[in-house]
Amino acid sequence: MTDANQTTGLQLRSTIRKSGELELSLAEVALPEPGPDQVLVKIEATPINPSDLGPLLGPADMASAKASGSGPGIKVTAQVPAAALPSLATRLDQPMPVGNEGAGTVIKAGSSDAAQALKGKTVSMVGGAMYAQYRLLKATDCQKLPAGTTAAEGASWFVNPLTALGMTETMKREGHKALVHTAAASNLGQMLNRICLEDGIGLVNIVRSPEQAKLLRGIGAKHVVDSSAPSFTDDLTQALVETGATIAFDAIGGGKLASQILTAMEIAINKTAKEYSRYGSAIHKQVYIYGGLNTGPIELTRNYGQAWGVGGWLLTPFLQKIGRDGQTPLRQRVVNELKTTFASHYTRTISLTEVLDLKNIATYNKRATGEKFLINPNKG
Amino acid sequence: MTDANQTTGLQLRSTIRKSGELELSLAEVALPEPGPDQVLVKIEATPINPSDLGPLLGPADMASAKASGSGPGIKVTAQVPAAALPSLATRLDQPMPVGNEGAGTVIKAGSSDAAQALKGKTVSMVGGAMYAQYRLLKATDCQKLPAGTTAAEGASWFVNPLTALGMTETMKREGHKALVHTAAASNLGQMLNRICLEDGIGLVNIVRSPEQAKLLRGIGAKHVVDSSAPSFTDDLTQALVETGATIAFDAIGGGKLASQILTAMEIAINKTAKEYSRYGSAIHKQVYIYGGLNTGPIELTRNYGQAWGVGGWLLTPFLQKIGRDGQTPLRQRVVNELKTTFASHYTRTISLTEVLDLKNIATYNKRATGEKFLINPNKG
C-alpha cells in the first residue's frame, strides 16, 4: 500500500479530564481528501520544543505518570494538581492534538495550481497537530523547501528561528540597542548569537555553567556571563556597560534572575549617568519572560527605580502585531539560511509511540540545554 | 519686617554621604530677586506624599535615626545600608532640597505682565524644593487658584489628582475598559473612586481591612474587595467578571498581591472564554506598581498564561508621554474640582522643624492609609 492509498493515520492526543487526570494516547484518525486548495502531507520530522510541552503535558506531575498498553495502544496517565484545573477550564475533557511545527512530503494535492505545484515536494509547516503521521493543510500555509533540504533540516523552521528574530525585532521596535539572553547555550540561544553576529547587534549571553560559556565562546559569542560564577553580578554589569543592553529575553522565569538583570542594568546606566534621578534612571529597562525552565515564582527585588517592566513574551502575538508584511522578510531569511544561521541540532529521533515512553518523557521534560528530540511519526 | 523685605529663608535638605549616612537639616538660604518672568512665593502648605519619602529618607534605616540640635539647628542622621549605595551614586554627598508640590502667596513679582498679575495671589506649584519657606519660580509654572481657595486646599493639587487621572487615562490609552486599585482607601484611592463614579468607569477597590471597605462603600464605591477576608480571591474574581477590569494600579508592590490580581483576571477572562487557548488567554493583563507600601520583593506565580506585564508606573514619564496638550484638560479639571473630586484631607499640619522630629518621621514614614501630613513652612 502506497502512502497515497493510506486511509487512516496516527495522531497524538492530550486530554486533561475534569477529574484531574492527564491522558496521552494515539488516535487512529481518518485522512480527509484535500480540497482544491489543500495538500496532504506525510510528516517526517517534527521537533519537541519547550513550547510544545505545555499543550502536551499541561501542569501534570509527571513523577506520578503511569504507562499502559503497547504499540499504537500505548497510554500514559498522570495527575494534574487540583489548583491548576480552574485555569484549564476551556480544555478539560477535550482531546487535543499537539505539535507546533514540522516538515514532510506532500503525498496528495488538490486541483488548484498552488496545490499541484507542491505534489511530491518537501515542505515545512506550522499550525499545530504535527505530532501525527499525516496533516491536511492549505497549500499557501506550506513553505516549500529548497532542493536538497531534508524534512529533518526543515522541521524547526518556524518556532526557534522566528522567536530569535522576534527578539532582535522587538529590541529594535521598542527602542533598545542591544539585548540580554538567558539559557543562552540552547539551540535558540546559539541561533540568536549567529543572528546578532551577522547583524552587528550587541548580545549578552547568560549561561549557567563554565561548559556552556565555553560552547558559546567557541561559536564566536563576544559577551558570555556565567551565572554560576561568584563574579556573576560584576561580570553582567560590565557586559551591560559595554553593550548598553536594556532589554532581556529570559527563558528561565522563576527565581531571582530577572530581578538581577534589572538591577545590573540600573547600575550600568547609572555608571554613565550625569545627574541623580530621584526615582532611579528614566531609561526603561525590560525583561520579557518567554519560557519557564524554572516554573517557581519570579522574585523581583525593586532596586532599579520605576522605569522597568517584566512581562510575558510569546511568538504568536508578536507575529500578529507585526502583521504579514513584517513577517515576510523574516520567513524568507529563515528559508535562505536554514542550513547555517537557523540550523537545529537533535540528540535523538523518536517515533510517535516513543514520545509516550516514560523514560523519554522524563528526558525531554527536563528541558535540559543541548538536549533536543525530533519526532519522525512515520518511523517504523 | 514684612515678607517682601525678607532676605533669607529656611530650606529642608537631605544628604546621603558616601560613608552611608543620611543627614536631614534646615539650611538658611538667600532669597533671589525674581527675574522679569519670575515670582517669589511664600509657601504656606506643602504635603508629605509617599513620593516625597524616597528623596527625603532614601533607603535609610529610620529605626537607627538620631536627632541633635533644636529649632532651625535641628539635625537628623540615620544609616543607609551599604548595599543600597551603588544605586544612589549620583546623589551621594549632594544636599538635595525636597518636596514635590505646594501652595502659597506671591510676595514678589518680576516686571512682566504674567508675573505682575500674580502679585498677592494664592498659587499652586509643582517642581521640587517645596519644603522651604520661599520658592522662586516662573510665573507660567504657577497655577492661580480660584478666589476663596486657600493654600491648604490647593497644596495637593498636582501629585495625587494627576496620578488618579493618569490611571484612568492610561487605562483608556492601553485599551482596557475598567481598572483595579490597591490600598484603595487612601486619599488617592478616594479621589480615584470619585473620578470613576463621575466618569462611569468600572473600578475594583482592594482594601486591607473591613473598616477601609466600610469607608469606601460609604463614599459610594461599587466594588470593594477586602484582602484580609477569607473569601478574597473569589470576591476579587467576581468583581473582575462584573467590571471586566484587565489593568491594575498597585501602591503596595512587595508580596503576592500583584500576582493574585493577575491570576484572578485570568480566571475571570476564562469564565467567559469560548475556547481553550493553550498559552492562557490572549487578553493582555497588566499590573502597574506605582508605590512601595511593602518594599519587600514582588512574588509572581505565573498561572496566567503569557499575556501579562508587571512594571513601574510613575507620574512624570506619563505626563511626558501625553505632552502638554494631553495635560491641559486634566489640570483644568483638577482646578475646577479642587474642593470636591480632588479634595485632600490631612491629619496634622506641622512646621519645617517638626518635619525633622523623630516621632513625626516614624508616623509619616509608616505611610498608613488615612494618615497624611501637611507642612506649613511658615508656621510659627
Q: Which candidate from B87, B276, B303 shows the least CB-CB separation from A280? A: B87
Torsion sign over Cα A228, A232, A235, A236: positive
H helix or E strand, kind and range, residue B173: helix B159-173
Average pLDDT over chain B, rounded to an integer: 93
Measured CA to CA, the distance from residue A181 to residue A189 in angstroms comes to: 7
Q: What pLDDT is attached to residue A202?
A: 98
Strands B178-182, B202-207: pairing kind: parallel
Measured CA to CA, the distance from residue B287 to residue B289 in angstroms comes to: 6
Task: Name the B residues in 232-261 with CB < 8 Å from any A CB.
Answer: 253-254, 259
Convert the pLDDT of each residue in B246-303 to its tens digit: 999 999 999 999 999 999 999 999 887 766 565 677 899 999 999 888 989 999 999 8
Q: What pLDDT is attached to residue B89?
A: 81
How far CA B269 is from CA of A80, A96, B87, B242, B249, in Å, comes to: 22, 21, 39, 11, 19
Q: Which candidate from A90, A270, A309 shows the least CB-CB separation from B276? A: A90
Dihedral, CA of residue A355, residue A361, residue A367 and residue A371, to nearest 10: -60
Q: Which residues of A touch B276 (CB under 8 A)?
A: 88, 90-91, 94, 96
Q: What is the SS3 assignment for chain A?
A: CCHHHCCEEEEEEEEECCCCEEEEEEEEEECCCCCCCEEEEEEEEEECCHHHHHHHHCCCEEEEEEEECCHHHCEEEEECCHHHCHHHHHHECCCEECCCEEEEEEEEECCCHHHHCCCCCEEEEECCCCCECEEEEEHHHCEECCCCCCHHHHCCCCHHHHHHHHHHHHHHHCCCCEEEEECCCCHHHHHHHHHHHHHCCEEEEEECCHHHHHHHHHCCCCEEEECCCCCHHHHHHHHHHHHCCCEEEECCEEECHHHHHHHHHHHHHHHHCCCCCECECCCCEEEEECCCCEEEEEEECCCCCCCEEEEECCHHHHHHHHHHHHHHHHHHHHHHCCCCCCCCCCCEEECHHHHCCHHHHHHHCCCCCCCCEEECCCCC
| Residue B24 near residue B56, CB atoms below 8 Å | yes
Convert the pLDDT of each residue in B50-97 to its tens digit: 889 989 999 999 999 999 999 999 999 999 999 888 878 888 999 999
Those residues whose C-beta lies under 8 Å from the C-beta of residue B83, and which sit 6 or more positions away, are none
Q: What pLDDT is attached to residue B282?
A: 84
- Phi, psi values for residue A69, rounded to 5°: 70, 180
Q: Which candidate from A87, A276, A304 shows the least CB-CB separation from B303? A: A87
Q: Which residues of A touch B280 (CB under 8 A)?
A: 87
Interchain contact, A89 vs B303, CB within 8 Å:
no
Convert the pLDDT of each residue in B107-129 to its tens digit: 999 999 999 999 999 999 999 99
Q: Which of B46, B25, B62, B56 is nearest to B366 (CA)?
A: B62
Measured CA to CA, the distance from residue A141 to residue A106 in angstroms comes to: 13
Q: Which candidate from A297, A306, A308 shows the least CB-CB separation from B299? A: A297
Interchain contact, A302 vs B292, CB within 8 Å:
yes
Nearest CA in chain A to B263: A87
**Ranges A284-298, B224-238, B340-354, B363-377: which has the least confidence:** B363-377
Cell of A252: 528561565
H helix or E strand, kind and range, residue B349: strand B348-350
Q: Which residues of A touch B309 (CB under 8 A)?
A: 309-312
pLDDT average, residue stretch B18-42: 96
Measured CA to CA, the distance from residue B358 to residue B380 in angstroms comes to: 19
Those residues whose C-beta lies under 8 Å from the C-beta of residue A349, and which sit 6 or more positions away, are A45, A152, A373, A374, A375, A376, A379
Measured CA to CA, the distance from residue A89 to residue A103 in angstroms comes to: 32
Q: What pLDDT is attached to residue B181?
A: 98
Q: Which candidate from B90, B275, B304 shows the least CB-CB separation from A275? A: B90
H helix or E strand, kind and range, residue B360: helix B358-364
Q: What pLDDT is attached to residue B338?
A: 94
Q: Which candidate from A254, A297, A307 shows the least CB-CB separation from B312? A: A307
Helix (H, G, I), strand (E, B) or coil at B205: strand
Q: What pLDDT is attached to residue A275?
A: 63
Nearest CA in chain A to B253: A302
Measured CA to CA, the distance from residue B190 to residue A196 in angstroms comes to: 50
C-beta atoms surrounding B20 within 10 Å: 17
Q: Which candidate from A86, A94, A307 shows the least CB-CB separation from B276? A: A94
Measured CA to CA, the distance from residue A169 to residue A183 in angstroms comes to: 19
Measured CA to CA, the distance from residue A318 to residue A84 in angstroms comes to: 27
Interchain contact, A312 vs B310, CB within 8 Å:
no
Dihedral, CA of residue A285, residue A290, residue A296 and residue A299, to nearest 10: 0
Question: Each residue of B188-221: b (16+ CB within 10 Å) or e?
Answer: bbbbbbbbbeeeebbbbbbbbeeebbebbeeeeb
Band of residue B1 on the pLDDT scale cut at 50, 70, 90 = very low
C-beta atoms surrounding B148 within 10 Å: 8
Convert the pLDDT of each residue in B318-348 to its tens digit: 999 999 899 989 998 999 999 999 999 899 9
Interchain contact, B299 vs A299, CB within 8 Å:
yes
| Residue B298 near residue B289, CB atoms below 8 Å | yes
Portion of chain B with pLDDT greater than 70, in percent: 97
Taking 50 as the pLDDT cut, the residues of chain A under it are 1
| Residue A301 near residue B299, CB atoms below 8 Å | no
A321 touches chain B (CB under 8 A): no
Interchain contact, A302 vs B274, CB within 8 Å:
no
Interchain contact, A312 vs B317, CB within 8 Å:
no
Nearest CA in chain A to B52: A278
C-beta atoms surrounding B1 within 10 Å: 6
Q: Which candidate from A96, A276, A299 shows the least CB-CB separation from B91? A: A276
Q: Which residues of A touch B295 (CB under 8 A)?
A: 302
Nearest CA in chain B to A55: B278
Q: Which residues of B touch A317 (CB under 8 A)?
A: 282, 306-307
Q: In what order do the strands lie in the sheet with A285-289?
A: A223-226, A202-207, A178-182, A247-250, A285-289, A308-312, B308-312, B285-289, B247-250, B178-182, B202-207, B223-226
Q: What pLDDT is attached to residue B370?
A: 72
A279 touches chain B (CB under 8 A): yes
Interface test with A, best of B276, B299, B304, B320 (most A CBs within 10 A): B276
A270 touches chain B (CB under 8 A): yes
Strands B285-289, B308-312: pairing kind: parallel
Cell of A326: 513584517
| DSSP result, B211-269 | HHHHHHHHTT-SEEEETTSTTHHHHHHHHHHHH---EEEES-EEESHHHHHHHHHHHHH
Interchain contact, B271 vs A89, CB within 8 Å:
yes
Torsion sign over Cα B83, B86, B89, B91: negative
Measured CA to CA, the distance from residue A8 to residue A3 in angstroms comes to: 10
Q: Which residues of B touch A274 (CB under 8 A)?
A: 90
Q: What pLDDT is attached to residue B305?
A: 87
Measured CA to CA, the distance from residue B213 to residue B209 in angstroms comes to: 6
Interchain contact, A303 vs B270, CB within 8 Å:
no
